[in-house]
Chain A
Amino acid sequence: DADVTQTPRNRITKTGKRIMLECSQTKGHDRMYWYRQDPGLGLRLIYYSFDVKDINKGEISDGYSVSRQAQAKFSLSLESAIPNQTALYFCATSDLQVNGALNEQFFGPGTRLTVL
Chain B
Amino acid sequence: RKEVEQDPGPFNVPEGATVAFNCTYSNSASQSFFWYRQDCRKEPKLLMSVYSSGNEDGRFTAQLNRASQYISLLIRDSKLSDSATYLCVVTVDTDKLIFGTGTRLQVFP
- Tell me what chain B mostly uses at the interface: helix, strand, loop, or mixed: loop
User: When the two chains form their complex, are residues A48 and B43 in contact, meaning their CB atoms are under 8 A apart?
Assistant: no
Identify the A interface with B (CB < 8 A): 33, 40-43, 45, 48, 56, 58, 88, 90, 94, 96-97, 100-110, 112
Identify the B interface with A (CB < 8 A): 8, 31-32, 34, 41-46, 49, 87, 91, 94-97, 99-102
Give every chain A residue within 8 A of B101 (Cβ-Cβ).
Answer: 40-42
User: When the two chains form their complex, are residues A96 and B94 in contact, meaning their CB atoms are under 8 A apart?
Assistant: yes
Give every chain B residue within 8 A of A58 (Cβ-Cβ).
Answer: 96
Using A107-B43, A110-B42 as known contacts, say yes or no to A101 and B96 having CB atoms under 8 A apart.
no
> Once the chains are docked, how many angstroms separate the CA of A112 from the CA of B41?
9
Using A41-B101, A42-B100, A42-B101 as known contacts, say yes or no to A101 and B94 having CB atoms under 8 A apart.
yes
Using A41-B101, A42-B100, A88-B41 as known contacts, say yes or no to A104 and B95 having CB atoms under 8 A apart.
no
